[in-house]
Amino acid sequence: MGRRRDEDCLYLNIYTPTLDKKAKLDVVVHIYGGAFMFLYGGFFGPDFIMDRDVVFINFNYRLGPLGFLSTEDEVVPGNNGIEDQIMALRWIKTNVQYFGGNSDSITLTGMSAGGASVHIHYLSPKSRGLFHRGISQSGTSLCAWSLMEKPLEKTQKIAFKLGCFSNITEHMINCLRQRPARQIVAAVKELQPWLYNPVVVFGPVVDSWSSNPVLPDHPLNLMKKGQVSDLPWIVSVTDFEGLYPAVDFVQNGYLKEIDARWNELMPFILDYNDTVDSTLLDEVSEKIRKHYLHDQKLDQSNFVDFVQIFSDRFLLLDIHKSAKLQASVVKSPVYFYLFSYLGAHYWYENLAERQDDYGASHSEDTSFILKTPDSDSTSTEEDRRMIEIFVEIFTSFAKTG
């Protein structure tokens, strides 16, 4: 998150074993996660997957307010970040043949916000025909964080901070366009009352107000109506998804503060401040505490229960719902897997005050398919075997579905 950022980001990284147009290799396109707020395509390397005969591609797309700010009208409909992805997919469809790829065998993959993005492409009429299979790891369009709430209100708060507020959206946006991009990004902090919470401030919207929408209706409604691409889909979760971000609170000693300010902080930490009526926030917060912690004080002794709150709220329930609903309306196979393997090294091993092997956290499975700077998945024979298994699963799916 500390990397230098630039709005000039619309580039693809293409890895191929051959430039022969006759090769017609299967194409794997990875969409990175990062809460629609951070990270970049090159964070995920192709080292493992390029042992197979595939073309691997990742790309950047605009994030945060630069990618997802919306005025809830035609002035700025929203979803610029998803439009960037669609533009990249169109380019790939047209040009991948020049990199040895088969334009009729394109598989989308993604984790977290990337997984939700993959699922959005199943639902968007603008993505039809641009891919043939998809894999959503730990994220779908039904996840609580996958769609932005109150987009106009958030845009107005950013504008007010930068001296651009106006009830006329066109005037407000014209003013914002005169502000440096870094100032706009920095103003997001105004929408995060405690630390970096809520994590997902800007993201995709149901842009039904657009004349050419990415998402003409809520994903739940589109799925119920069967308006989803009938293509093979793999969807997954890990067994301890909620370790991110729960472990961060342990590392920085915030459990005591969260316990003392539970009703005040949890609506932002769990991102239901804009979902629940303000008069009911305390009641909802107390119900959550009673259900998961049984009215006990939050500390290390019930940290696993705390993790379960994050798992349920942000991922497990909505991902299961997505898989079941999509399977009920399409003829193509929908596969589901639970990842529980814990390698020799894992991203949170140096974050917690005590070294508990809780389980496989959010994103752990991705590290056995794609190489990342903050993971070491090759230090033991068992880990290397897991890489072989996972790469085989993904590449065989990319070949045959």
Catalytic residue numbers, as ranges: 112, 241, 362
Phi, psi of 80 (to 5 degrees): -60, -35
C-alpha span between 200 and 314 (Å, rounded): 11
Task: Name which of 186, 131, 83, 139 is nearest 318 in CA terms.
Answer: 139
C-alpha span between 108 and 115 (Å, rounded): 9
- Dihedral sign, CA of 67, 206, 274, 33? negative
Longest dimension (CA), the chain: 65
Residue type, 38: F
C-alpha span between 163 and 87 (Å, rounded): 33
C-alpha span between 2 and 316 (Å, rounded): 29
- Dihedral sign, CA of 64, 70, 71, 77? positive
Phi, psi of 9 (to 5 degrees): -125, 0
Task: Name which of 247, 200, 278, 261 is nearest 352 in CA terms.
Answer: 247
DSSP annotation of 340: -
Q: Which residues fall within 8 angstroms of residue 200, CB to CB, at 6 or more apart?
A: 35, 36, 37, 113, 145, 148, 271
Helix or strand or coil: residue 338? strand
| 219, two tokens | 């994903």
Please say whether the beta carbons of 285 and 273 come within 8 A. no
C-alpha span between 202 and 43 (Å, rounded): 21
Residues linked to residue 353 through DSSP beta bridges, in sequence order? none
Phi, psi of 177 (to 5 degrees): -65, -15
| 253, two tokens | 């000693």
